[in-house]
Structure 1
Amino acid sequence: MKRTMPRTTRPRKGAARGGKRAPQAARPPPPEPEPVTPDGPRYLYGIVRATAALELGRIGVGTVPTQVYALHESGLAALVSEAPGRVVDPTRAHLLGHQRVTEHLLREHTVLPAAFGTVLASEAQVRDLLRTAHDALAGVLEALEGKVEMGLKVLWHREHLVQRLLLEDAQLARRDDEPEAEHEQRLASAVEDRAGRDMRALLEGLRPRAVALREHPPVGERMLLNAAFLVERTGLESFEEKVRSLAARSDTYAFRFTGPWAPYSFVDVRLGPRDEDAVGT
C-alpha cells in the first residue's frame, strides 16, 4: 500500500499570523523608453537594400533597449537607434543588443554589417553617408547578396596527437642512443607537421563549398584553426554536411561550428560621413 505523508500548511510569505495579509509595497513600474528624437548621435548596426519602412522594435543597444529603425536614401537603408553615447562600451548587454539586431536583419536581408560601436553624430550624418558612399555600399551589398558567414574553430589536446603519432609510427619512438631533448624536438616537429597538414586538408575539403575563406589568428594555445567562410544561403546544408563529415573522421580534434552570421569577416567598413574609399570587400 502506498504511504502518504501528512501535508502541513504554512502561512504564505508576507501573510499575517492572524489571517490578515500584510500590506505589500507596490512595485515600481518599469522605466519607460525615451521617445526617439531627430537629433543626437546614432548607433549604426548595418546597411541593407530596402525601400519599404523597417521597424525592428525596441531591441537596440542601451541600458533600456532602444528603438531600431531605418533611414532610407536611394534604395539603401541604414538601421540605427539612438546611441547611449559617443563611445559605446563593449558590455555584455551592449554586445547582445548589437547581435540581436543583426540576427533579426539577417533573417530577411543581405546585410552589410557595421562594426560594434559605430556611432555617427546625427541622422543627417547617416543620410550623408548613404548618399556620398552610395555606389560603394551598393557594390558591396551586390557582392554579398544571398551569402552569410559561417565560423569554424578547431581545437586540440596536443598530447592526444602525440600519442596518436607514436602509435602510428614506430620511428617516432625514442632511440636508445637518442638524447631526450633531441627526441622531444623531433617529436614536436612531427606533431606540428601533422597538425598543419590536417588543417590544410580540412580547408581544402571545405573551400569548394564556400565563396570565400578568411583565416583569423587562433586564440589560445589549444586553437589550431580560426576560420570564416562566406557561403551561399542555398549551399548551407551542403556546407554543414561536409563539416560534419570531416569532423566525424577525427577524434583528435574538437570542432566548433557557428553561424550563420552577418559577413563581418568579408567586408572592411569604416563608416564616416564621406568615406566612400574606405568601403570594400
Structure 2
Amino acid sequence: MEAGLYLYGITVAQGTVPVEVPGIENAEVEQVVEGSLAAIVTRVTTQKIRPQRSNLAAHHHVLRDLTEQQPILPAAFGTIAGSEKQLREVLRRNHDVLIEQLKRLRGKVEMGLGVYWDTPNVFEFFVATHRELEQMRDRLFRPGKTPRFEEKVELGKLFESLLRDSRQRHTRQVIEALSPYCVEIRTIDPGEEKMIMKLACLVEESRRGQWEDGIEAVARHFDNHYGFKYTGPWAPHNFADIDLNLVPA
C-alpha cells in the first residue's frame, strides 16, 4: 500500500524522467508534473525512510544523475509528501519562487571544501605556535603544582579564543582567494575540533577547473600542518533556499 511520495527534488518539467538509476527501496523514479515544474519522486510504502547506507546512496545517485543534466532544487533526505494531490498543491503554490530558484542555479553545481589541521593534537600544535598559551600551560602544570579547576577553565578559554581567531582568519583568507571563481560561498559549522572551515561553493560548471586551480594556489600559502580536501560536484543543497513545508497526510 502506497504511503506517500519520496521527494528527491524539483526541476523543470521534461518529456521523460531524466533519471535511469533506481531510487529508494530500489523502486522506479517518476516525475509529478505540475505546469512547468516536475517533482522527481519514488512511490514508497512507509512515511519514514531510514538513513541507512543503501537509501542514502540511492538518494545521492538520483540527484547526481539529475545534476548532470539540468538544474535541480534538491530536497533533504527523507522528505515525503503524503499524496500526489498535496505535492501538486505545493508546486502550484510555490511555482514562481521555484522557477526563479531554478533559473538562478542553471549551469551551476555545488562544490565542497574542507580545511583542517593535519596534526595529531590540535592543542599541542597551538601550544607550539602560540607563546601565550605555552606560557600559561607551563605555569599551571609546572612540577610540584596542581592547577585549580578555575585555572584549567581559563586555559581552556584561551585555547578556544585562539582557535576561533585562527579559524576566522584562515576562512577569510580562503574565501577571498576563491571568490573570483564562485557565484556564492557559504560557510558551514566546522563541527569537530580539527576542522578549520567547511565551505559550500556555488560554481558555474564551466569554471570548475579554475575553482580547483584556485584551491591549489591558496593551499601553497599553508604549511604541511594544514590539509585541504574538496568534494563535488553535488546538487546545490546549501543554495536551494526553499521550504516546501511537506507534511505526510
C-alpha displacement of 1:173? 7.2
Cα gap change, 1:75 to 1:173, in 2 (>3 Å)? closer
Rounded to whole Å, the distance in 2 between the matches of 1:270 and 1:218 is 24
Structure 1 gaps, min length 5: 1-36, 275-281
Partner in structure 2 of residue 269 of structure 1? 242
Change (3 A) 1:204 1:162: farther
Instruction: Supply the distance in 1 between the matched residues of 2:19 and 2:111 (Cα, whole angstroms).
Output: 24
SS at match of 2:197: strand
Aligned to 1:259: 232
Q: Note closer, same or farther for the CA distance 1:252–1:60 as it changes in structure 2 (3 Å cut).
A: same
SS of alignment partner, residue 29 of structure 2: strand
RCO greater where, 1 or 2, for CA within 8 Å and sep 6 or more? 2
Does the aligned pair in 1 maintain the 2:11–2:73 contact within 8 Å? yes
Query: What SS does the aligned partner of 1:268 have?
Result: coil
Using a 3 Å threshold, how does the CA distance of structure 1 residues 71 and 246 change in structure 2: closer, same or farther? Answer: same
CA contact (8 A) 2:170 2:196 kept: no
**Could you say which residue in structure 2 is the equivalent of 1:93?**
54
What residue is the counterpart of 1:226 in the other structure? 198
What is the CA–CA distance in structure 1 between the aligned matches of 2:80 and 2:140, rounded to whole Å?
Answer: 58
- Once the 2 structures are TM-superposed, how far is the Cα of residue 91 of structure 1 from its aligned partner? 1.4
Q: Secondary structure at the match of 1:249?
A: coil
Q: Distance in 2 between matches of 1:108 and 1:43?
A: 21
Letter in 1 for 2:179: R
* 2:206 counterpart of 1:243: no
1:140-151 alignment, distance < 5 Å: 140-151=101-112
Q: Given that residues 109 and 205 in structure 2 are in contact (C-alpha distance below 8 angstroms), is that contact kept between their aligned partners in structure 1?
A: yes
Distance (Å, rounded) in 2 between the aligned partners of 1:97 and 1:43: 12
Contact 1:148-1:263 at 8 Å conserved across structures: yes
Q: How many residues of Structure 1 are paired with residues of Structure 2 in the alignment? A: 229
- Identical counterparts, % of pairs: 35
Q: 1:72 aligns with which of 25, 33, 36?
A: 33
Shift in CA distance, 273/90, structure 1 to aligned 2, threshold 3 Å: closer
Distance in 2, Cα, partners of 1:59 & 1:191: 45
Larger Rg: 1
Aligned to 1:135, the other structure's residue is in SS state helix
- Contact 2:71/2:102 (<8 A) preserved: yes
Match status 1:202 vs 2:174:
yes
Q: Give the drift of 1:145.
A: 1.4
**Structure holding more helix per residue:** 2
Residue 113 of structure 1, aligned match among 57, 74, 80 = 74
**Secondary structure of 2:50 counterpart:** coil
Which of 32, 51, 56 lines up with 2:19 in the alignment? Answer: 56
Q: Aligned equivalents of 1:147 and 1:262: distance in 2?
A: 9
The 3 A distance-change label for structure 1 pair 85 and 58 is farther
Instruction: Give the TM-score of the pair, scaled to structure 2.
Output: 0.80
Structure 2 counterpart of 1:28:
none
Q: Who is 1:26 aligned against?
A: none
CA 1:199–1:91 in structure 2 vs 1: closer, same or farther (change >3 Å)? Answer: same
Seen in structure 2, the aligned counterparts of structure 1 residues 197 and 73 have a Cα distance that, compared at 3 Å, is: same
- Stretches of structure 2 lacking an aligned partner (at least 5 in a row): 142-150
CA contact (8 A) 2:178 2:214 kept: yes
Matched residue SS, 2:169: helix
Q: What CA deviation, in whole Å up to 9, does each residue of 1:142-198 have, x standing for no partner?
A: 1111111111111113234543x36xx8x98759xx94579x789846665444322
Map of 1:44 onto structure 2: 7
Displacement after TM superposition at 1:131 (Å): 2.1
| Local SS of the residue matching 1:59 | coil
